[in-house]
Structure 1
Amino acid sequence: MKNTRLTWVDVTKGLLMILVVIGHYPGHLDFPLGKYIYWFHMPAFFLLSGMFFKPILEKGKTKEAIYKRFMQLIVPYLFFLVMITVIRYGMEIGAGNTDLSWYLHDLWTLVIGGRFARGAYGVFWFVTTLFFAYLFFIVMTKYLSRAKQFVLLIALYVLAHLESIYAMQIIGGAPDKASQTIPMIWNIDVAFMALVYFAIGFYWKDFWMAISNRALAYAIIAASIVVTLDWNKVIDYHLSMKFLRYEHAVLDLLVPLAFTTIIVGVFQRITQRMPLTVLQRIEKHSISIMYLHIFTDIVLNDYFRYGLIGFTAAGLLIPIGASIVISKLVPYGKLLLGGFRGRKPKKDRQPLPI
């Protein structure tokens, strides 16, 4: 049963990674594909991460846990940030761009990161948000009672929506521009919302590990109702964590949870009969795919014309190839791809006989 669970987790993440690539297609996505992808794919990543969170209860283990997550998340973040930037600047210099102010402004946006880093860095916000959500959750679970944790999560959820109201309704305009009126390094404020999804994965771990038929049926009904209402323009629901677009306090929980339940529940049943190896392999190289799929298109689109299928194929296959090369040929390649596993715990010494 344990292997089955691990299989469906990998398969689910593999599908979500494909949706990430599709969601960044620079051309026109027929309604409602792009809109519906954003309803759930990023919340699902935070939820799945929360499922495997282990509270730090022992003294002296907090720094070790933080260091491990730093090595797994921030080291690859910095590696791909530097690699892409060096190549980009080489391309800019080759094209004749010698404007020092352009490079200084670009570097400043990369330092701030989050929603301010655009283009090739469009997905970098997720990693820093996940890292800070993890740090916040360590503190919560270590120093607060379960009741106080719930109160804090509710407060952060409300705060996130108040920030969204300020950006989307008071400032107004395009969500990406409106959200950038609120200065914040590395999208730390988005961690308030991410923390809620992360916590749901952690607190409901038993539920997610074995989605019941009844829960799956309810999720399908709920998702069908929301899709029907949106399709018929009774509602016009959007969700964009990166740009602080949280439009409905109820639907921002209901919709991601319903869709995630459906995907997890379906894959739990399918992987009992077939391993879906392709999706597992995509998940294995997810770090490289996440960081490089947009940049791959930036490099290729001057030389090739392709639609959504070609964009998705290139955004998967080329980063997978890069991942294999980095892991095998670059010094500490596996470490740079998030493969840090931490120190192996020492075996407890046998007590001396009395």
Structure 2
Amino acid sequence: MAVIESHLVDKIHLLQSPGIPWNFDVVLMALVYIGIGYFYKDKIKRLLEDETVKIDAAAEIIAVLLGIFCWINYRDGSPFYYFDMKPVYYKELISAILIPCAFGFVLIRIVHWMGRVNVMKMVNDFLVLCGRATIPIMFMHIPLNHWKDTLGYGRGGFIFIGVGIPLLFTIVLGKYSVMRKLFGLTELTRR
């Protein structure tokens, strides 16, 4: 359904501007990924915890293949594969599922090994905090950076403001159950 809708948005101008209300177009594709995460959560958890060398070898092979794919895709400046949910650009359902899942598989194994290396503990803890503050980061990063062009700060400032302020917001207000319910925050003391 999401791929059909992506093709329709290209053909029907009214769907492009003003657009589909409340990002329903993005929701259709997001439901696919949420479904994958929900129905395969046990397998994903096992990938995070498993010490099998075969899984690491598979992740390394997939990482090399993804690297080759990205090099071929972007080498001449006009990619043959492009995927972007916000402007509703995902034309092939199989590649819209396989490629992000392949990146996810490699990322899961990287996270697994980051958790095993003591030096990476601070980075891992920071990333856990960012994961718990996903909702505030998602909803606050654009409004917080409204004056980016006026003030003239670059990408680093955009990331610092767009992630830093929502993290502080989550740390300060996440202590109160009313604020957690109101803003969809998680209790940071649980782990």
- Which bracket does the TM-score occupy, shorter chain normalised? 0.7 to 0.9
Matched, 1:239 2:83: yes
Amino acid at match of 2:16: S
Question: In the alignment, is the contact (CA less than 8 A) between 2:136 and 2:170 conserved in 1?
Answer: yes
Change (3 A) 1:206 1:225: farther
Q: Deviations over 1:123-181 (max 9, x none)?
A: xxxxxxxxxxxxxxxxxxxxxxxxxxxxxxxxxxxx2212211222x347xxxx85346
- Runs (4+) of structure 1 exceeding 6 A deviation are none
Normalization by structure 2: what TM-score? 0.74
Change (3 A) 1:327 1:232: closer
Matched, 1:333 2:176: no
Q: By percentage of residues, which structure has more helix?
A: 2
| SS of equivalent to 1:323 | helix
Give distance in 2, aligned partners of 1:327 and 1:207: 30
Give distance in 2, aligned partners of 1:194 and 1:323: 24
Q: Deviations over 1:232-289 (max 9, x none)?
A: 2474322122332112233212211111111111111111223322212222333222
Question: In the alignment, is the contact (CA less than 8 A) between 1:226 and 1:255 conserved in 2?
Answer: no
Give distance in 1, aligned partners of 2:18 and 2:143: 26
* Aligned partner (choices 260, 267, 271) of residue 115 of structure 2: 271
Change (3 A) 1:240 1:323: same
Question: For structure 1, which runs of at least 5 residues remain unmatched after alignment?
Answer: 1-158, 342-354
Give distance in 2, aligned partners of 1:232 and 1:299: 34
Question: In the alignment, is the contact (CA less than 8 A) between 1:210 and 1:268 conserved in 2?
Answer: no
Q: Deviations over 1:31-70 (max 9, x none)?
A: xxxxxxxxxxxxxxxxxxxxxxxxxxxxxxxxxxxxxxxx
Question: In the alignment, is the contact (CA less than 8 A) between 1:160 and 1:189 conserved in 2?
Answer: yes
* Aligned partner (choices 277, 295, 298) of residue 146 of structure 2: 298
Query: CA-atom RMSD, angstroms?
Result: 2.9
Describe how 1:1-354 pairs up with structure 2 within 5 A. Answer: 159-168=1-10, 170-171=11-12, 179-180=16-17, 184-211=20-47, 212-233=55-76, 235-274=79-118, 275=121, 276-299=124-147, 302=150, 304-327=151-174, 332-339=178-185
Give distance in 1, aligned partners of 2:170 and 2:29: 31
Q: What is the match of residue 51 of structure 2?
A: none
Question: In the alignment, is the contact (CA less than 8 A) between 1:164 and 1:244 conserved in 2?
Answer: yes
Cα displacement (A) at 1:190: 3.5
Number of aligned residues: 175
Identity level (%)? 26
Q: Which of 1 and 2 has greater Rg?
A: 1
